[in-house]
Chain A
Amino acid sequence: EILLTQSPATLSLSPGERVTLSCRASQSIGNFLAWYQQKPGQAPRLLFSDASNRATGIPARFSGSGSGTDFTLTISSLEPEDFAVYYCQQRSNRPPYTFGQGTKLEI
């Protein structure tokens, strides 16, 4: 089973700041990584598939990068609506398609 480790677990930031979230895989997964945003009481929302392929409607301040075992999600300038929990998920051809434990962005 491929393990995903997200860091940090929690980040306390202010609107306007730049943030980079990390997701590290226990073995190479190519670029088969998705990022999700989840707000309280809502289903996760896809941000990126294949590490850097921005989903429909996702603002340009979000960017995804990485391959192999190291991946990052960057938000160039935090908006109030960006404070949420962010998850990565590996989608290599080796199920189970595990999730990271999440990073909580808080004000």
Chain B
Amino acid sequence: VQLQESGPGLVKPSGTLSLTCSVSGGSISSPNWWSWVRQPPGKGLEWIGEIHHSGSTSYNPSLKSRVTISVDKTKNQFSLKLNSVTAADTALYYCVRDEDIWGQGTLVTVSS
């Protein structure tokens, strides 16, 4: 199984960050948890949230009011939307399957 993040690398302040994670070599419908983790430049890891193939979700309370994670079974993908972004949301964003499979990460910069 391989994961690949995609989406805009630059988002304006107050805008919405939208990323997609494409799953290859496996099915998004398999009984796994699909999550997003981010890492600000030079800093540690932060768990954003996750979704189960059943549609059940769990979010970090610090971001819960701004974040949505969804699954598109027809495209074998899952997505992250984070609204009302600020410079503090600038980070490398990773998609992850359970604990063991990580995408390579995609850098998102919030700047005007």
- Chain A residues engaging chain B, CB cutoff 8 angstroms: 1, 34, 36, 43-46, 49, 55-56, 87, 89, 91, 95-102
Contact = CB atoms under 8 A, between A and B. Distances in A.
Interface stretch (B6-14, B71-79, B102-110): B102-110
A34 B60 contact: no
A99 B46 contact: yes
Interface residues of B, number: 19
A104 B32 CA distance: 30
Interface of B: 35, 44-47, 49-50, 58-62, 94, 99-100, 102-105
A49 B44 contact: no
20 contacts: A1-B61, A34-B99, A43-B105, A44-B45, A45-B102, A46-B100, A46-B102, A55-B100, A87-B45, A89-B99, A95-B47, A95-B58, A96-B47, A96-B59, A96-B60, A96-B61, A97-B50, A99-B47, A100-B44, A102-B45
Contacts of A87: 44-45
Most chain A beta-carbon neighbours within 10 Å: one of B47, B58, B103: B47
B68 to A, nearest CB: 16
Contacts of B46: 99
Contacts of A99: 44-47
Contact of B47 (A36, A45, A97): A97
B62 to A, nearest CB: 7
A99 B103 CA distance: 18
Contacts of B104: 43
Nearest to A102: B44
A49 B94 contact: no
Q: 5 tightest CB-CB pairs across the interface, nearest first?
A: A43-B102, A96-B60, A99-B45, A95-B58, A97-B47
A95 B45 contact: no
B100 to A, nearest CB: 5
Contacts of B44: 87, 99-102
B66 to A, nearest CB: 14
